[in-house]
Amino acid sequence: MHASFSAEKSALTLSEQRRLAFCAAAGFFFAPGAWLLQVIVSETLSAQACDAGSVPRVRPVYPHLHAWLYGTSIAAIAIAAVCGALAVHGFVFLARKQKAIKAQGAERDASETPSRALEEVSRKRFVALCSALIGCGFVVGLVFTVLAEVFLGSCSQWH
């Protein structure tokens, strides 16, 4: 026995769905991942260069520690900014799609119930909004992490 479902067409094409999934993943996973990798690499480099067992060093062992720290930070900010921009792009795309579907619905009929297409796009728009907020939030977090590197010396205590 086969269940028959009404085959109402999706509001988004398969290509759009894939692109939006990538944009959401960029905000949800790649931007936080860039921040996490930057923190792990910076803290590991600083710990190895500035700690001799139980005695902290005044100067780092590696002569160009600042360059490594700033390089990883700049790379992480660039990656997170691109990921945040992708997430915002997904949100803006769905907001425009939702507006177009609402305009089409207003032309056809004035019923109070939203169409399935509008519900689908509204749900995906909410996910895209969360992704954009998380992606942009981690870009701001990276900026503050870099500010700590700028204002504190390489081997200074965090008191």
Residue 55 forms part of a structural domain: yes
Residue 54 forms part of a structural domain: yes
Contact 50, 155 (CB under 8 A): yes
Q: What does DSSP assign to residue 62? A: S
Residue 98 forms part of a structural domain: yes
CA distance 47 to 77: 22
**Count of domains observed in the chain:** 1
pLDDT at 157 over 80: no
Residue 53, pLDDT score: 72
CA distance 71 to 100: 43
Residue 127 forms part of a structural domain: yes
Residue 112 forms part of a structural domain: no
Q: Which residues of 78-109 are buried (b: 16+ CB within 10 A; e: fewer)?
A: ebbbbbbbbbbbbbebbeebbeebeeebeeee
How many CB atoms within 10 Å of residue 24? 22
CA distance 39 to 80: 13
Residue 78 forms part of a structural domain: yes
Higher pLDDT, 31 or 65: 31
Quick: pLDDT tens for 48-107: 888 767 777 777 777 888 888 889 999 999 999 999 999 999 999 999 999 988 888 766
Q: 121: domain range?
A: 17-106+117-151
The answer, as to whether pTM is greater than 0.85, is no
CA distance 157 to 62: 18
Residue 93 forms part of a structural domain: yes
Q: Could you tell me what percent of the chain has a pLDDT over 90?
A: 47
Residue 62 forms part of a structural domain: yes
